[in-house]
Structure 1
Amino acid sequence: MIETILSGWKSEIVNSLSQSKSYCLAVYSTAGELIFANEAFQMLIKDDACKSLLNPDFDKIVGLPHDSVLIFSGFMTIGTIEEVNTSIFAHIYRKNDQLLIIGGMDMLNLTEQNRILHQMNAEITHLQRQLLQKTLLQEQTLSKLNAVNEDLLKANQDKDKFLKILAHDLKNPMFAISGFSDLLIKNFRKYDENTIEKQLGIINTTTKKTYDLLEELLLWTRSQSGKIPFAPRTVQIKNVCDDVLSLLNESAAVKQIEIISEINADLELHADVDMLRTILRNLISNAIKFTHEKGQITLRAEQQDTDMIITVSDNGIGMSQNTISKLWQIADLYTTPGTKGEKGTGLGLMLCKEFVEKHNGKIWVESEVGKGSDFKFTMPVSEVGTDN
């Protein structure tokens, strides 16, 4: 049936097979001479046409039983062992002293290979994408680590500078205490009572200021190490302000400064009471320090959405924008004398910033030279959003 169908196409079939680049056709003599090879077969063989038949090799093919014309059907390997070799599915026929090799790729095998290659290609593409994602993630992580490292280096440098400033601030009053006490010891019997009382007053005042500085330093150090308890609860802001004012009214009275509280008694917020007291004490103390005699300080509280904005306002000397930019920089620890020459370290404002941010709040100042300052900070009204 097939022979009948193809009988009319013999010349075309022979022509196609002889020129095919995908289907191999070769004729050998049993003596080992390559009589004919189409282009596809020539691409597989090397210098020695017989030795290019690797498995089965030429001698084995010649030695196969040839009771029938078809002596072999299966995969055969062509090429060299040292270099590239190729396996094809072939039929080998023998007539008299000639061998006809016809073969090519098994289509089922080729389809399976293509399927495997496609799957491998998809897996490789997936792995490449994963690798790119991991590489990108590593680059982003490295970038973040570098940024954190730079921040840590700067923080360490800032703290080193900060400690040097503090050491200087501590050393000066200690020299004053030591110097005046030495003078008293050496001249105790020579000085009159007024001189002794004056020098003892200087020693006492300097000692108190040094103690206050050490207290602030200790509190700041504890806040940096996370050792200060943080226990926010609902509090009435007016009660806390009144407690702080009872401690500072005497300082304000010395300069005849009037402190007015405009805070409503029913206003509540969610805060750690001790931290809130420290914030208010430092801000009100600063206002007293930089307000002229017979000046005025006003306390206000206003709820906006979920936050309470608390303001400590004074009509004192005010600040320039350049001064404001340095207030919360630990490396600068900026401070200036008050209206009566009062001294400070700038550490109080650093504590305020630490404690406000502990509540997820913000602190800022609005000021103008000669027109006073408004120090403002926010606290949460309820527990939602606080940093526990």
Structure 2
Amino acid sequence: MKSDAQTQQVKTGYTVLVVDNDQKSVRFISSILSPFYRLLVKDDAQQVLEHCKERLPDVILMEIPTHALSAYDLARQLREDTRTKSVPIIFLIDKANEEAIDKAFEAGAADYINKPFKATELLVRVKSQINLNISKRRLRQAIDLVPHRIFAKDTEQTVILANVAAAEFFSKKVEDLLGKKEPPLPEGWVYEVVTNDQCPNELFPSKMMTCEEHLILPDGSKKYFLTNKMPFPFSDSQLPALLEIVIDITDEKKRQEEIRHLNEQLLKHGQFKDKLLSLIAHDLINSVFITNSTLSLLLKNVENLSWGKFIDEVEKVKNNSGKTLQLLSNLLEWSKAQFEAVTYEPVTLNLLDELYKLQFILQPYLDSKAIKVVCDVSDKIMIQADEDMLQTILRNLASNAIKYSNEGGTISLTAKEDAGRVYISISDQGVGINPDQLKELQQGNLEHVTTYGTKGEKGSGIGLNLSKEFVERHGGELVILSETGAGSTFTFSVPVST
């Protein structure tokens, strides 16, 4: 009875290399496999080695013996070569030859088939090894796409798993790491592990733990890492092994330092606008509480979290830190503006270029709501504006548009010249602003305004008022048109470049 594969007669693009000097056996194997695979036949070990240097087969079928070099020695050579070690080898062995089977696996065989065999068995064994090898390659590709270091070593410090990010850390290729001792750090590099309750001083822990690690570079700069360490049960050496997944959190640490610095600046302006500071303090406390709670929950439950859930929680902390940083930036700029500390320094700018910069900065927030941006602005429009102030205006107005837009909405950017000025409009199709809140915002009564975006994002109005002051520095006026449920349009003007 024919198998399904034999009935369908669908030829794949995979290549089977048959190593056999028995012509009768080769013809039999060919009759079975040639309808489905490209077949190459070699009867000499040296021919096999030379061919594999030029092009790798997908699977090797090896008869015992081969000319000059034994099949076992040939298999060992193929396994020791980094180019051919991943190609599965199937030995064709006389039935009940236990010694040959043992030798085959010791030499690196992936499988064996007892002779005589049926066509179905040969097809199934070949297909299984090809599919298994494909799965291994896909897994390797997936691991290499991960931007974080994935690294495993056994108790003898032999590297048993490494992805591209890990290899690049040591300035090596993956194949130069595998099966070898863990290389030393470059000269002048110092690695420190922050030992605490979550990260005890254990080289090979019995359960997953998360550590913070510092890398001090020769120039004195520091890089910060969050390292997950866990037992790794897939060591070929059968020795205990450790898997490390290392996430670079240097940028997150920098953001935290920036927040600390901004807080210091804010303390210098603590004598004015008591009500305003009370409002902002509430928002900051809420944001920091969310970050702290998330981190505490993450550390407490790290052993039970899946890798995907762990990354999701880290992303939440990252996003919340970004929002906190933007809130503090707005407050600092507004504070400086109150004391005339911000100087107005207009230069000639291409408006479209400035809008491209804005979209680049806000793209992650746009993507989070799948919001489309339609920009109807000529690349010929040149304006006279303070670049930092202009970006602050655009960023705050566009952030509001994103905040109050529904998922899948559209934000429109338009500009027109009139009487020596350029009128720039940012429009959304979101929830709009109710008349009472709109009036309060236009009058600058921040303490009476608390708004929420379509995803619950809290707003205090400070960004809008900061934008209003910076627009006035340019001799313009911020005009807001809004209707509840129909969206809003923010329009301001700056001078045309002469």
- Name the TM-score, length of structure 1 as normaliser: 0.54
Q: What is the match of residue 218 of structure 1? A: 332
Structure 1 residue 302 displacement after superposition? 1.5
Between 323-332 and 304-313, the greater mean CA deviation after superposition: 323-332
1:238–1:333: structure 2 CA closer, same or farther, 3 Å change rule?
farther
Residue 288 of structure 1 aligns with an amino acid whose one-letter code is I
Q: What is the match of residue 289 of structure 1? A: 403
Structure 1 unaligned blocks of 5 or more: 1-155, 384-388
* Secondary structure of 1:316's aligned partner: coil
Q: What is the match of residue 355 of structure 1? A: 470
Runs of 4+ in 1 over 6 A off after TM superposition: none
Residue 218 of structure 1 aligns with an amino acid whose one-letter code is L
Q: Provide the C-alpha distance between the structure 1 equivalents of 2:448 and 2:415, rounded to a whole number of angstroms.
A: 28
* Secondary structure of 1:351's aligned partner: helix
Q: What is the match of residue 234 of structure 1? A: 348
Identity of aligned residues (%): 37
Match of 2:318 among 204, 210, 231: 204
Structure 1 residue 377 displacement after superposition? 0.7
Structure 1 residue 237 displacement after superposition? 1.4
Q: What is the match of residue 90 of structure 1? A: none
- Name the TM-score, length of structure 2 as normaliser: 0.42
Structure 1 residue 211 displacement after superposition? 1.9
1:336–1:382: structure 2 CA closer, same or farther, 3 Å change rule?
same
Structure 1 residue 271 displacement after superposition? 0.9
Q: Provide the C-alpha distance between the structure 2 equivalents of 1:354 and 1:241, rounded to a whole number of angstroms.
A: 20
Cα deviations across residues 135-176 of structure 1 (Å, max 9, x unaligned)?
Answer: xxxxxxxxxxxxxxxxxxxxx998111000011111112222
Residue 294 of structure 1 aligns with an amino acid whose one-letter code is G
- In the alignment, structure 1 residue 318 sits paired with structure 2 residue 432: yes
Cα deviations across residues 241-286 of structure 1 (Å, max 9, x unaligned)?
Answer: 1221222233223322221111112222211111111111111121
* Secondary structure of 2:458's aligned partner: coil
1:262–1:185: structure 2 CA closer, same or farther, 3 Å change rule?
closer
Alignment of 1:13-162 (within 5 A): 159-162=273-276
Match of 1:339 among 447, 451, 454: 454
Cα deviations across residues 56-90 of structure 1 (Å, max 9, x unaligned)?
Answer: xxxxxxxxxxxxxxxxxxxxxxxxxxxxxxxxxxx
- In the alignment, structure 1 residue 280 sits paired with structure 2 residue 394: yes
1:273–1:321: structure 2 CA closer, same or farther, 3 Å change rule?
same
Q: Provide the C-alpha distance between the structure 2 equivalents of 1:191 and 1:292, rounded to a whole number of angstroms.
A: 31
* Secondary structure of 2:493's aligned partner: strand
Q: Provide the C-alpha distance between the structure 2 equivalents of 1:198 and 1:248, rounded to a whole number of angstroms.
A: 20
Match of 1:300 among 414, 432, 442: 414
Structure 1 residue 301 displacement after superposition? 1.1
Residue 470 of structure 2 aligns with an amino acid whose one-letter code is F
1:252–1:187: structure 2 CA closer, same or farther, 3 Å change rule?
closer
1:266–1:200: structure 2 CA closer, same or farther, 3 Å change rule?
closer
Residue 355 of structure 2 aligns with an amino acid whose one-letter code is C
Match of 2:491 among 340, 357, 376: 376
* Secondary structure of 1:332's aligned partner: helix
Q: Provide the C-alpha distance between the structure 1 equivalents of 2:342 and 2:475, rounded to a whole number of angstroms.
A: 16
Name the structure where helix makes up a greater proportion of residues: 1
Match of 1:266 among 380, 385, 391: 380
Structure 1 residue 179 displacement after superposition? 2.8
Residue 351 of structure 1 aligns with an amino acid whose one-letter code is L
User: Do the aligned partners of 1:158 and 1:331 also contact (CA within 8 Å) in 2?
Assistant: no
Residue 326 of structure 2 aligns with an amino acid whose one-letter code is D
Q: What is the match of residue 289 of structure 2? A: 175
Q: Provide the C-alpha distance between the structure 1 equivalents of 2:309 and 2:368, rounded to a whole number of angstroms.
A: 24
Residue 492 of structure 2 aligns with an amino acid whose one-letter code is F
Residue 370 of structure 1 aligns with an amino acid whose one-letter code is G
User: Do the aligned partners of 1:244 and 1:281 also contact (CA within 8 Å) in 2?
Assistant: yes
Q: Which has the higher contact order (CA 8 A, sep 6+)?
A: 1
* Secondary structure of 2:273's aligned partner: helix
Q: Provide the C-alpha distance between the structure 2 equivalents of 1:339 and 1:284, rounded to a whole number of angstroms.
A: 15
Q: Provide the C-alpha distance between the structure 2 equivalents of 1:225 and 1:311, rounded to a whole number of angstroms.
A: 29
1:157–1:247: structure 2 CA closer, same or farther, 3 Å change rule?
closer
Structure 1 residue 335 displacement after superposition? 3.7
Aligned pairs, how many?
228
Cα deviations across residues 273-319 of structure 1 (Å, max 9, x unaligned)?
Answer: 11111111111121111111222111111122132211111111112
* Secondary structure of 2:447's aligned partner: coil
1:333–1:261: structure 2 CA closer, same or farther, 3 Å change rule?
farther
* Secondary structure of 2:494's aligned partner: strand
Structure 2 unaligned blocks of 5 or more: 1-269
Q: Provide the C-alpha distance between the structure 2 equivalents of 1:365 and 1:157, rounded to a whole number of angstroms.
A: 31
User: Do the aligned partners of 1:261 and 1:298 also contact (CA within 8 Å) in 2?
Assistant: yes
* Secondary structure of 2:411's aligned partner: strand
User: Do the aligned partners of 1:363 and 1:376 also contact (CA within 8 Å) in 2?
Assistant: yes
